[in-house]
């Protein structure tokens, strides 16, 4: 039987993650595959519940406790690194635990990858639920990304990866900085299924505007050498072909230089040593449910 592993990071939001698991448990009932879950506790200051619900369709649910809080992206990187060495799954589903990655769309990801078992699938966002300001900034991010990298990256963490692709990206230092950029760069064959960004179950988003900016720059920094090449081409184009609007040309060139420097600085977040030693930050793993 085909085995799916679901990876979910959580920081204090225990109420959301167990509501999510209950809803996933219902959604997977008609999929003829085995599902197990790995929750990564990212150094939560709030203790998980003492009693856990009984599920009908999960094979098991494990809780991995980290020694310290290290953030959403690095939690996922740790989980991917850990699972890359395991043999108990065929496909890995990565999703947020707050409800924004809708549980009803797991069926779309699973069915899509079972149609072509060797190609990973990402959740392509066709509709978002955030406010107007966020959506405008997101579109600006997409435009800048396409201009400077030539890549249209319209997905986040929500995805279903083949085991081979899990092993592949687990050795890439950019995984420590950004998941989507790493997948787009190194997974050569990638399918997608349209998905809608859901609403959080409880409370406002914990992601700050500054965090969103760093996340955007981290995606672009995975392709830093493409950024350098394209920036150079644009800079020379402005220098040789645009002479009339002198002040505007100088300002644009200044922006390009500063932007390229920032991208290379942000790329320093990539860390192969930290990625290779990520499993040393695991405090312990507890089984909280077995069927």
In the chain, where the domains are located: 3-131+154-203+278-290, 224-265
**Mean model confidence pLDDT for the chain:** 91
User: Could you give the CA distance from residue 130 to residue 133 in angstroms, rounded to a whole number?
Assistant: 8
User: Could you give the CA distance from residue 274 to residue 82 in angstroms, rounded to a whole number?
Assistant: 13
Sign of dihedral through CA atoms 29, 30, 34, 35? negative
* Half-sphere exposure at residue 250, Cβ-oriented, CA atoms within 13 angstroms: 3
Q: pLDDT exceeding 70 applies to what percent of the chain?
A: 93
Q: For residues 209 and 16, which has the higher predicted lDDT (pLDDT)?
A: 16
Q: Is residue 245 classed as helix, strand or coil in its secondary structure?
A: coil
User: Could you give the CA distance from residue 181 to residue 178 in angstroms, rounded to a whole number?
Assistant: 6
Residue 111 has pLDDT above 80, yes or no: yes
pTM, rounded to two decimals: 0.92
For domain 3-131+154-203+278-290, the CATH architecture is Alpha-Beta Complex (3.90)
* Contact present, 10 and 69 (Cβ < 8 Å): no
* Contact present, 181 and 219 (Cβ < 8 Å): yes
pLDDT tens for each residue of 121-171: 999 987 655 667 767 777 888 899 999 999 999 899 999 999 999 999 999
Helix or strand (DSSP H, E) at 73: helix 72-83
* Contact present, 188 and 228 (Cβ < 8 Å): no
Which among 90, 116, 120 is positioned nearest to 189, based on CA atoms? 120
Q: Supply the pLDDT for residue 255.
A: 93
């Amino acid at each position: 039987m085909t085995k799916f592993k679901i990876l979910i990071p959580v920081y204090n939001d225990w109420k959301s993650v167990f509501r999510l698991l209950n809803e996933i448990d219902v959604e997977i009932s008609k999929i003829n595959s085995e599902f197990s879950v790995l929750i990564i506790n990212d150094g939560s200051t709030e203790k998980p519940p003492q009693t856990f619900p009984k599920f009908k369709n999960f094979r098991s649910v494990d809780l991995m406790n980290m020694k310290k809080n290290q953030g959403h992206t690095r939690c996922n990187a740790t989980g991917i690194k850990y699972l890359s060495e395991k043999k108990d799954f065929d496909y890995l589903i990565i999703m947020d635990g707050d409800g924004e990655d809708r549980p009803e769309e797991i069926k779309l990801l699973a069915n899509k990858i079972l149609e072509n078992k060797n190609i990973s699938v990402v959740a392509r966002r066709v509709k978002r639920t955030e406010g107007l300001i966020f959506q405008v900034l997101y579109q600006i991010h997409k435009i800048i990304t396409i201009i400077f990298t030539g890549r249209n990256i319209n997905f986040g963490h929500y995805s279903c990866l083949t085991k081979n692709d899990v092993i592949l990206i687990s050795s890439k230092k950019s995984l420590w900085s950004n998941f989507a950029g790493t997948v787009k760069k190194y997974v050569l064959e990638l399918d997608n299924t349209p998905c809608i960004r859901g609403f959080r179950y409880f409370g406002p988003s914990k992601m700050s505007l500054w965090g969103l900016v760093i996340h955007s720059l981290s995606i672009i920094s995975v392709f830093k050498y493409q950024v350098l090449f394209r920036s150079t081409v644009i800079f020379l184009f402005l220098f040789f072909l645009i002479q009339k609007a002198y002040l505007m040309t100088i300002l644009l060139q200044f922006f390009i230089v500063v932007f390229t420097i920032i991208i290379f600085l942000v790329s320093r977040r990539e860390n192969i040593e930290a990625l290779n030693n990520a499993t040393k930050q695991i405090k312990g793993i507890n089984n909280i449910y077995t069927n």
